[in-house]
Structure 1
Amino acid sequence: MKENIISKKYRGYISLLGIFIFGFLFTACSNDDDAGGGGAVTVDTVYLQDVDSDVPDREVTFARLGQLLRLEGSGFTGVRRIYINGFQSSFNPVFVSDSSMLVRVSGDTPTIEAEEDVRNTIRLVKDNSETTIEFEIRSSAPTINRVSHTLPNPGEEITVYGSGLIEVSKVIFPGGVEVTEGITFDEEDGEFFTVTVPEGVSEDGGSLYIESANGAAYSPAFFNVERGVVLNFDGMGELGEFGNTIRQGQLTSEPIGTGVVSQGNYVPLRNDTIASFAAGRNRVAEVFTSGNESWRSQFTPFIPANTPLEEVAFQFDIYVPEPWEGSGYLKILLINNFNGGEWSGGVYNYIPWIVDGEAVPFETEGWTTVTVPFTDFYLFNDGGDYTFEDLLQYRESATFKNFGMFFENSDFNLSDLPEYNDDVEFPSSETSVQVYTDNWRIVSLETPVVTDFPE
């Protein structure tokens, strides 16, 4: 599949190169009086250059921020400056001939905030002349990258995060359930909107689809994926009871949380018999599945084994009622073959109170969803070309196939985290933080593509 994508991109670049070779040859063979750049520019047509599209060279009447345009016409030789919506845009003179030129719409180009007299215009300036054409410039297409709770009950409000989420007018939930009322959004930056979950959302789950002033978008296919549940402590999945693991009798079911509340049984990582966790200790609490589950039989019917691993994730719900900062983290384990303290192999250390390399208090008002792509697990985070099959085989070859979590309270260095290189120590301290988890599940991160130009 990747080979086809790469080939497609090369075809697009080759096609684009051919267009410019033709343009240069045409220019060299013409007797145009503007060879020195003195004549006015005429723009006949604007094309969108998109090597990822089935139509890599498409005539268009509008473009979005970040897109690459080819202007076709005459007199482009000698163009010194280009202004899009009044914003000076850079271009490479190598890709300028008398009959065409390339320019990318900068992500900094103003759209609705542009001055009215320059909004939706492209202005080309030469030493002795200039030309302005009308051309619609739209904001970047909206994106969705996170949802506050992806396994909510009907009637609960969720917050959807992303970019370009301005004037969201419609949300369609998995199963085709449509909501057009009660949607509130971030009017200033378009970074989120809120909506109440309706009845009738499909238990198979999938993507949210939204329509907004900036266009349409899908979320990853991680919403309401009940068939992906590994363990919910209420009958879906089997809790492992061995060694020092948390038992069924140590679970809690009292409703807790504001807004999004708990669902049945859930796990307190520090139960009432433990006042606090001592400093410098690993594996101070642990909870596992029984190890009898088959991820292949349960998940490959909707996440094929050849799915790129970056498109598969572990989700769980978490509730932290009091600030958590400075000590302690969750170790998520693909198999039960670790003793604690590891920063490599089939584990991932979840430390939500580290933000931009600094310790920042973390707490939640209600239950919220954490999404961990499997390529964040240290075994698979080296940039390799992994698939879901690699993960399945890793678990199937293990002696102890239990999936689970440790709560660890040991020292670590910021450089232990793959995203940081700074040598900063975070010494542990005694902590009485309470962390609750629930609804462990495997989900797809595949995101359907919305295009302005349906094929």
Structure 2
Amino acid sequence: MDVDADAKNTIRLVKSELEYVYDFEIRDAAPSVTRISHTLPQAGEVITIYGKGLVEVNRITFPGNVVVTSNITSDEDGEFCTVVVPAGITEGGALFVEGANGGAYSPSYFNFRKGLLHNFDDVNNQSWSGGDVSDDLTSVIPASGNGPKSQGTYRSLNKDKKTFAAPAPKASYYWANNSVFPSLLPESVLSSAASTSDVGVQMDIYVEGIWNSGTIRIVITDGSGADRYCMLYTPWLENGQEIPFINPGSWFTITLPFSDSDDYAGKTFQDVLNSVTSASYAQWGPWFDNIDINDIACEPTDVTIYFDNLRVVPLDTPVYSEYGDE
């Protein structure tokens, strides 16, 4: 039935000669934000915010109360929105996204530079590597597009863009100094009592080629065996099933909660710090392992993964309600 526009979303009450029209809003469920494509981007780059109910997003507040009301594009199904990163962001924390269905916070990890433990420019650059890790690289990649690009110096886990055999465990590996964890991550940066499900490692990567096999292994402590104190990032595997890896064509952030490691599950961030200080070797970092995953046989692969900005970040999401404490 066709309804006049001025009669939509109203209730009309009539009694004798009295009449009252009550206006109300019809919304979908409250929105939510599940992840951000790049959490340490540069001003002017386009990032994607993923979630549910992100319909007609019209305002995004970045940490430090930097507000954006333009250059926002929303998905019709509400599964994501994109935004051009504004200049002037100096603080870290959660994004607040507002649209037709209300508002929602992201996890608290955007621009969390306080947790940056290693890059190749100016933060804790004591490191060593092996296998097929490249030397320092500086060419801006990708050369075109409006998505996030490389930031200064970075490295690759496949320096010659070779084809890794199957299997090829620890085909390449990079070690950074992890003795700085306690000094760079004090209580004022991250609570030692935080659950390991609320704290994790982030790293920015750029991918060339088809990622059909192999995994990034983030090793937190060395000396307890290859499968201990580590988390895996395997984007071609979801719920135990193989899926195509969709390459965004720009740099993006991977996020690995410490609780993904059996050694840290159900524990606190203090337990992570304790494991680091008691490790046999003071080193941590990403490996590329071309190995069987969840009984899925590995295959030869020539995927090339560039990486930068290793950091530890909070993963908690602030609670928001339009109705306050009601």
1:344-423 map, 5 Å? 345-362=228-245, 363-381=247-265, 384=266, 386-412=267-293, 414=294
Q: Greater share of strand residues, 1 or 2?
A: 2
Matched, 1:158 2:42: no
The CA distance in 1 between the partners of 2:79 and 2:10, in whole Å, is: 24
Distance, in Å, in 1 between the alignment partners of 2:269 and 2:63 is 23
Q: 1:450 aligns with which of 301, 320, 326?
A: 320
Amino acid at match of 1:329: T
SS at match of 2:114: helix
- What are the superposed Cα offsets for residues 329-355 of structure 1, whole Å, 9 maximum, x if unpaired? 111111122554x2xx31112111113
Worse overlay, 208-217 or 152-161: 208-217
Bigger RCO of structures 1 and 2 (CA < 8 A, at least 6 apart) = 2
Per the alignment, residue 149 of structure 1 pairs with 38
Corresponding residue to 1:177 among 48, 60, 66: 66
Q: Distance in 2 between matches of 1:155 and 1:192?
A: 19
Equivalence for 1:229? 116
The question of 1:294 aligning with 2:181 is answered yes
2:14 counterpart residue number: none
In the alignment, which residue of structure 1 is the partner of 2:101? 214
Structure having the higher helix fraction is 1
Give the drift of 1:246: 7.2
Q: Is the 8 A contact 2:200 2:257 kept in 1?
A: yes
Cα gap change, 1:198/1:279 in structure 2, threshold over 3 Å: closer, same or farther? same
Using the TM superposition, give the Cα deviation of residue 138 of structure 1 relative to its aligned residue in structure 2, in angstroms: 3.9
Count, aligned residues = 306
1:256 aligns with 2:144: no
1:284–1:406: 8 Å Cα contact kept in structure 2?
Answer: yes
5+ long unaligned stretches in structure 1 = 1-116, 122-133, 415-424
* Structure 1 residue 431: Cα displacement: 2.2
Task: Give the deviation of 1:270 after TM superposition.
Answer: 0.9
Q: Structure 2 CA distance, aligned partners of 1:154 and 1:428?
A: 39
1:53-452 correspondence to structure 2 within 5 Å: 138-187=27-76, 189-202=77-90, 204-241=91-128, 244=130, 250-257=135-142, 258=145, 259-272=147-160, 275-295=162-182, 297-325=184-212, 327-340=213-226, 342=227, 345-362=228-245, 363-381=247-265, 384=266, 386-412=267-293, 414=294, 425-452=295-322
1:224 deviates by 0.8
Give the Å deviation of 1:410. Answer: 2.2
TM-score by length of 2: 0.86
SS at match of 1:399: coil
Name the % identity: 37
What 5-or-longer segments of structure 2 have no aligned partner?
Answer: 1-6, 12-22
CA–CA distance in 2 between the matches of 1:137 and 1:168? 16
CA offsets per residue over residues 68-119 of structure 1, 9 Å max, x none?
Answer: xxxxxxxxxxxxxxxxxxxxxxxxxxxxxxxxxxxxxxxxxxxxxxxxx997
Residue by residue, what CA displacement relative to the aligned partner does 1:122-170 show, whole Å, maximum 9, x if unpaired? xxxxxxxxxxxx9876422111111111100000011101111111111
Q: Which structure's CA Rg is the greater one?
A: 1
Do 1:296 and 1:392's aligned partners in 2 also have CA atoms closer than 8 Å?
no
Structure 2: distance between partners of 1:435 and 1:303 = 29
Does the CA contact (< 8 Å) of 2:114 and 2:189 recur in 1? no
* Contact 2:27/2:100 (<8 A) preserved: no
Distance 1:338 1:322, change over 3 A: farther
Q: Secondary structure at the match of 1:310?
A: coil
1:371-409 residue CA offsets vs partner (Å, 9 max, x unmatched):
11111122123xx2x221111111122121311121111
Judge conservation of contact 1:228–1:299 (CA < 8 Å) in 2. Answer: no
SS of residue in 2 equivalent to 1:160 = strand
Cα-to-partner distance string for 1:301-321 (whole Å, 9 max, x where unaligned): 121111222111111111112
Superposed CA offset, 1:53-75 (max 9, x none): xxxxxxxxxxxxxxxxxxxxxxx
Contact 2:132–2:158, Cα closer than 8 Å, also in 1: no
CA contact (8 A) 1:336 1:404 kept: no
- Report the CA distance between 1:439 and its aligned residue: 1.0
Pairwise CA distance, 1:294? 2.7
Two-structure CA RMSD over aligned residues (Å): 2.5
Q: SS of 1:369's equivalent?
A: strand
Q: Structure 1: how far apart are the matches of 2:300 and 2:59?
A: 48
Question: How many Å separate the matches in 1 of 2:301 and 2:107?
Answer: 36
Note the C-alpha offset of 1:222: 0.6
Task: Give the partner amino acid of 1:347.
Answer: C
Find the aligned partners of 2:220 and 2:30 in 1 and give their Cα distance.
36
Query: Residues 213, 226 of structure 1: CA spacing in aligned structure 2 closer, same or farther, 3 A cutoff?
Result: same
Distance, in Å, in 2 between the alignment partners of 1:138 and 1:233 is 47
Residues in 2 aligned to 1:135 and 1:177: alpha-carbon distance in whole angstroms: 31
